[in-house]
Structure 1
Amino acid sequence: MSLDIELRAALAQRKALGRLRSRLNLASAQGVEVEIDGQPYLNFSSNDYLGLAQNSELREALAQAGGRWGLGSGASHLVCGHSSEHQQLEQELAAHVGRDRALLFSTGYMANIGAVQALLGRDDAVFEDKLNHASLLDGALLSRAKRQRYGYLNYEQLELRLGSSTAKRKLVLTDSVFSMDGDCADLRRLSALSADYGASLMVDDAHGLGLLGDGRGAALHFGLDQQQLPVYMATLGKALGSFGAFVAGSETLIEYLVQFARPYIYTTAMPPALAAASRVALKLMQEQGWRRAKVGANIAYFRRRARELDVPLSSSHSAIQPIVLGDDKKLMLVAEQLRQRAYLLGAIRPPTVPEGSARLRICLSAAHSKKQIDSLLQCLAELLESA
């Protein structure tokens, strides 16, 4: 009883702040057009950047693989859950991002926690951008290393912290493309700073793989080899339209993670049929460069039309285009009005983003048409003018 009372109080407090989260129940496959509670919506909130999540070839690949492999993998990778599909997917991902070897994890959250926790200990130090994804922040906490956070994209502050550290091992953590702002970290500069101060660099490329570097990711986009960016993580659930994640790097790094990354060791492997379908998704991403080109064209078109309609823009040139409104109540009012007009956008409030930076998070896809983008922006312009 006492626990429920305490929990209800915490929930009531969050509700009073207008920050109580709720889930949507989709009645359709993921895509640009989705159905919720019997109503159609134009979806600008999905990370399915290349429009692969409901691709017919992937559906067929998953169905065929399910017929062969069934559903569950049955065990962790280190017991009897590691199939030939997992093995081949790891090899193909490593080759795609230009690394010696890759290691599959069930989620990006587990990949980041597993890698950071395995690589650091009490005598070490971790340096992290304040707006890093929660999984990187939590990995640093679990590692028990000394945590030093630097201001968002503030590399001068990072250099001061690196220069004053006497830790045994130093690890710099950053997103490549930041999930709420859409800005891209300067990985070339981060790599140089890490090298100057005896640190290693780890990058979460969840929102870069498939889009940056001709689809091969942020490391290739910035021309960084395995030595310059030794720990690379990316997910399969965004541009690839699938599910799961991987860490890629040297043979030594990956073998070390096999032995010491607890979320890898003690978790049931992803279904082998899903690994098989992800291999097809990777192949489609490689062969269908028009999808990546369409995303780039949609980003440019969105930003041009937004300027013409006086819709406020951020500095982002990625597929993530936030419209910062600042006030939580104003945000939720505009978001609800958009829902009433059948537009689905992310309404992001603290604590996910800093105080005073509540925003609409617009995600652009290769599947969006110019007509759909125009329609959204016209609606946004009208609502923002009257809000």
Structure 2
Amino acid sequence: MSDKLPNLPLAGVRVVDFSRVLSGPYCTALLADMGAEVIKIESPTGDDYRHVAPFKNGESALFTQVNRGKKSVVVDLRTPDGQKAVRHLVSTADAVVENFRPGVASRLGVGWDDLKSVNSSLVFLSISGFGQTGPWAHKAAYDVIIQGLCGLMSVTGQPDGPPTLVGEAVADVVAGMFGAWALTTALFERERKGGREAPGRYIDLSMFDSMLSFMVTSTTASLFTGEVPMRVGNRHPLSAPFGCYTALDGYFSLAVLNKKLFSKLCKVIGAEHLLSDERFATDLSRSTHESILRDYIEKWSGARNVAEIVSVFETEGVPCGPLLNVVQALSSDQAEARNILVPVEDRRLPQQHLVRQPAVFSGVVQTSLRRAPKLGEHTRELLS
């Protein structure tokens, strides 16, 4: 694996990564994209994601995406030699990331108390389902469990339908993003206080906590009104018209958040008489009578193609867009202009592209991503 990096913000930062599957590896993939040297510690059988479909040329798509740019070291943490090897690596590191269940890292000899003794400036991030404390701390946590417990499923789906799982492992990914933010925040603090001479930090990050922080609309509405947010289907829970609507050949989304935009919408659909109707005088009243507004909009849009609808609304300055599938989104002109798909330098996967982290830094041109490592590829290099 090439170590040639552009001028990336985290170049020179070393992270020892004990995490596996998704939340932790996604966190450290973001760090690797920004130049950090991420040393992935794997068991002799490797991360579970190495064995999860879909596969291409024998390589797991999921493992490749969330372990790009890392180095792999195989260590058996259940042995004294394995623990000794890991302690040596940690003594040279800036940060550690793990996503074991609470207590497991300590039983393996790689917990915070074990490793800060060999590196007092260490930033140590623990990602778990429910955090290190609380009555649920030792519960098993997978994305579907967290989505159910945090309330996300309860507000997703049609009003007369069942709670619905979001079509992405959002709890894992959100925790990974918060993890990368928390870890770099702690590293920034350490640098301001003396770098390697300053004390480190322990960070306890919960997927459950992360999702409650992520759900801004639902939690805030509940806290301010005392009401229980419920499913509202393909619309915004608080504003209208603000959601997904039917066209002749598909679907489109609208975002009307003020009276000026509502006036423009009514003009476009030929329903200007609604402007003098008290039921639609405010955003709150429009939300209350959303179903009536939907009927007016879809009576007009149901006779027109999505492309025509989007063009008309955009011309009038009303935020509107078509609903794309994933392939269409990845191949869109916007995705191409933003270079969101970056080639990965990997002989095992010729001409393969991956989705990069989304932030664009001035002075940094990301022309390729470093590949995911073979199992144990860097063991000899890093432990010799």
TM-score tier after normalising by the smaller chain length: under 0.3
Whose radius of gyration is greater, 1 or 2? 2
More helix as a share of residues: 1
TM-score, normalized by length of structure 2? 0.25
Q: TM-score, normalised by structure 1?
A: 0.25
